Amino acid sequence: MVVYAAQMDVAIIGASGYTGAELLRLCADHPSLKVGLATADSQAGTRAADLYPSLAGAYPQLVFGEVDPDGLDGFDLVFLAMPHGQSQALVPQLKGRVGHIVDLAADFRLRDPALYPQWYGSPHACPELLADFVYGLPELDRQPILGAALIAAPGCYVTAATLALAPLVRHSVIGATGVVVDAASGVSGAGRSLRHDTHFATANEDFAAYGLLNHRHTPEIEQATGAQVIFTPHLAPMTRGILATCYARPTATTSTEELIDLLRSAYAGEPFVVVTDGPPSTKSTYGSNCAQLTARYDPRTGWVLVICALDNLVKGASGQALQCANLALGLPETAGLPTVGVYP
């Protein structure tokens, strides 16, 4: 029998966005976490249940507040679910005053501060803190996350590409240059803010590439996989989901069976990675914290193909953050996290 710890107090900063709402949903079913504060400056004073009626059963009286660092003293866990750039201003004020911080943005993911002006358009505000953050992809490197006070949780594109490619790069099965990552995302990946390209009338019945050669997640994919990549994201007319299709050249003779066996070995015992014989789909992961993977070798062209599907708001964002928080807090890694998707 699993014995859970006493309830721990959780704050969610940026709780009115899609990842914040997803954190509220997941925490509602967590046996050890209690949301004591949810802030959202743009929605301060609004009931969470009014903005997201799906949360009414769990949070009938929760009202979004404004961000006040002094009001966060003593919280066991703080999730930062804000747009890129905002965590850099807040973390220096919270460090040492709260138990654990899990940042869902890219503010503390890159180890090299010089990459921020190149890919994000401005220098990092507190580069001295980058080394204090642990990168939060448990399947890649779980040990540093255990008990960590500061965690940078990777997002959806990077998680999908890394789960697909990292085992093959680490075992030198594929070359570390000339890797291609084609990935499609649902519109929720762009967040809740109103934008022309995510309007229903714009995105519906359309499929478009964007961020050609300069998408900001490129250096993070390269850092996490250890491979040089050309990354092309696409916007698909669906609400949730990531499908990453990755292409690489093998370093020696291989086969589909060997590739799938390697992935199964790499993720043996992992509760949130499923290696399949057939091609995975986003619908199979909808609402769950699981990623699904498969691989192929094409002897005709000499290419290796690896595909990963996941829910961009769960394993690609809030579920990943909660998975990391469980490890940091000494809780069962799977607590509060669904392994079964919603279907149809």
Q: Do the domains 8-154+315-329 and 156-311 sit in the same CATH topology, yes or no?
A: no
Fold of the CATH domain 156-311:
Dihydrodipicolinate Reductase; domain 2 (3.30.360)
Q: Which residues, at least 6 apart from 203, have a Cβ–Cβ distance to it below 8 Å?
A: 187, 197, 235, 237
Q: Tokens 């990623």 identify what position?
A: 291
Q: What is the pLDDT of residues 35-65, one digit of tens each?
A: 999 999 889 999 999 999 999 999 999 999 9
**Mean pLDDT on 16-29:** 97
Q: What is the pLDDT of residue 200?
A: 85
Strand ranges for the chain from DSSP E: 8-13, 33-39, 77-80, 100-103, 134-135, 150-152, 179-185, 208-209, 229-235, 242-248, 273-275, 291-298, 303-310
- For 170, other C-beta atoms within 10 Å of its C-beta total 13
Q: What is the pLDDT of residues 86-125, one digit of tens each?
A: 999 999 999 999 999 999 999 999 999 999 999 999 999 9
Q: What is the pLDDT of residue 6?
A: 66
Amino acid identity of residue 45, one-letter, is G
Straight-line distance from the first to the last Cα atom of the chain, in angstroms, rounded to the nearest whole number? 33
Question: What's the rounded Cα separation, in Å, for the pair 316 and 319?
Answer: 7
Burial class (CB in 10 A: 0-12, 13-18, 19+), 25: buried
Q: Tokens 């992935």 identify what position?
A: 263
Q: What is the pLDDT of residues 158-199, one digit of tens each?
A: 999 999 999 999 999 999 999 999 999 999 988 887 788 888
| Predicted confidence band of residue 1 (pLDDT cuts 50, 70, 90) | very low
**Mean pLDDT on 308-325:** 98
Q: Which residues pair with 54 in a beta bridge?
A: none
Compute the mean pLDDT over every residue in the chain, rounded to the nearest whole number.
Answer: 96
Structure tokens at 203: 């995105």
Amino acid identity of residue 11, one-letter, is A
Residues serving a catalytic function are: 156
**Mean pLDDT on 201-218:** 93
What is the percent of the chain where pLDDT is above 70? 98
Question: What's the rounded Cα separation, in Å, for the pair 68 and 71?
Answer: 5
Q: What is the pLDDT of residues 277-289, one digit of tens each?
A: 999 999 999 999 9
Fold of the CATH domain 8-154+315-329:
Rossmann fold (3.40.50)
Q: What is the pLDDT of residue 201?
A: 85
Q: What is the pLDDT of residues 26-42, one digit of tens each?
A: 999 999 999 999 999 88
- Could you tell me the residue ranges of all domains in the chain? 8-154+315-329, 156-311
